A and B are shown apart, each in its own frame.
Chain A
């Protein structure tokens, strides 16, 4: 239990938010992607809390170890919402009835998600900087 553990936790937060940002980019980039097998489906990362471990095989030692949890993206789930239907019979991927199945991506929603990811990233950076300055302060005692 030390500052390194605190910094590892913040780093896991940064990593998770980066992955979230990647899925948002992917969703936005593919907001109009269609294919004969069906349109692109919106992706959503699933966050899971994981106990912080300095190395594999470290066992639970005390109460503290359980409460210090990092975060990880356990899976990237596909959004089950139905595709958006657009009438465009000339489209190469149009169904026989003339409708094209467009991705279930809502750009506004993605933008809101993006801002949220950005703020979370910044919060983790702040926590990381706090741990760093506290560690430096501790080293300063010896001077």
Chain B
């Protein structure tokens, strides 16, 4: 049995923080442009991709062609997908921002970021505990 000090948890949590901060930028962009004529609301998905990468662990599915979809692989390579939101909120000037939905995403993203940051802190504290031979500080 092998025990890894630095397992996938750290990678996954830091990747999650990274992607959440990107998502925050997208949401800010949507909110700032809530009244810009013709602006297309964007959204970012990465949860599925990250979960896949975690599940596969060290197994990497090679892509033999650039056009192939990313079937999951290394956590480092998870980029998330940014696309134009498809919803029914279209103003007459072509703007598709749903302001209420954006505020909800904003709150959700913030809470998830906070949770990941807390977990990362806990994980590091555990490592510190182990390194100090259980002796605490």
Contact = CB atoms under 8 A, between A and B. Distances in A.
Contact of B26 (A68, A120, A130, A137): A68
Contacts, number: 108
B29 A9 contact: yes
B33 A69 contact: yes
Contact of B21 (A128, A133, A134): A134
Nearest to A116: B35
A49 B35 contact: no
Contact of A134 (B36, B42, B99, B110): B110
B60 interface: no
B37 interface: yes
Interface residues of A, number: 39
Contacts of A138: 17, 21, 117
A136 B106 CA distance: 16
B46 to A, nearest CB: 12
- Dominant SS at the B interface? helix
A133 B111 CA distance: 10
Interface residues of B, number: 34
A10 B32 contact: yes
B21 A49 contact: no
Given A126-B103, A137-B113, A140-B117, A64 B32 contact: no
A6 B35 contact: no
Contact of B29 (A67, A116, A134, A137): A67
A1 B24 contact: no
A60 B53 CA distance: 28
Given A1-B25, A2-B21, A134-B110, A141 B121 contact: yes
Interface string B101-132: 01100110110011001001100100000000
Interface in B11-51: 17, 20-22, 24-29, 31-37, 39, 42, 44
Interchain residue pairs A-B with the least CB separation, the first 5: A13-B32, A47-B36, A6-B25, A9-B28, A6-B28
Interface of B: 17, 20-22, 24-29, 31-37, 39, 42, 44, 82, 99, 102-103, 106-107, 109-110, 113-114, 117, 120-121, 124
Interface of A: 1-3, 5-7, 9-10, 12-13, 16, 46-49, 52, 63-64, 67-71, 116, 120, 123-124, 126-128, 130-131, 133-134, 137-138, 140-141, 143
